[in-house]
Chains A and B, each alone.
Chain A
């Protein structure tokens, strides 16, 4: 089955700095890579996702890059703000046609942005 490794487990940055979280996956059949932000006691919220036919995707301060050959993908947050503080999870799974498959999650990264 799929195995997703996520690093670092904790990340502390100053407001305005950039934050980078990296994940690797093992199953070359995975083609869907979402990133989730989870605040304490709440459900994961999708912040950005990328499919395997794309190498990079950007949405304002958030970007994700994917290297299919190396089987790794990264989340980049620029100009961090205190409200970005949360736990971030990467995941890998399949999304074929009109259906989505199960997701395998990374271990999570606790991001703290200091004012």
Chain B
């Protein structure tokens, strides 16, 4: 299957600071990147969709100025949580997709657990 990495795997930060999460697709070109978040004991919720070289499209209720997404290359997308607050504590998971159809399933990164104190 596809190799997807996320960094960091976990992070603890103080309220008001910004945190950047990197997602890399190591063996295929991710023309599209989906970013999900999962609060404890809840399901995955799509936050935003980004296409390489374009601005991200955010789901209803997700603040685009708070969750900055950059998808400048086919192998790297970043999610920056700006001015993080305790309610942003969650499991953030990226999911790259490729127009080339290199794989016949949709993959997820290993996730980043963010804890905001």
Which positions in A face B, CB cutoff 8 Å?
34, 41-44, 46, 49, 89, 93, 95, 97-108
Contact = CB atoms under 8 A, between A and B. Distances in A.
Interface stretch (B11-19, B68-76, B80-88, B95-103): B95-103
Contact of A102 (B34, B43, B110): B34
Contacts of A98: 98-101
Contacts, number: 52
Contacts of A43: 93, 108-111
Classify the interface of chain B: helix, strand, loop or mixed: loop
A95 B109 CA distance: 19
Interface of B: 31-32, 34, 42-46, 49, 93, 95, 97-101, 105-106, 108-111, 113
Nearest to B107: A46
Contacts of A34: 105-106
A49 B105 contact: yes
B44 A46 contact: no
Given A43-B93, A99-B32, A105 B45 contact: yes
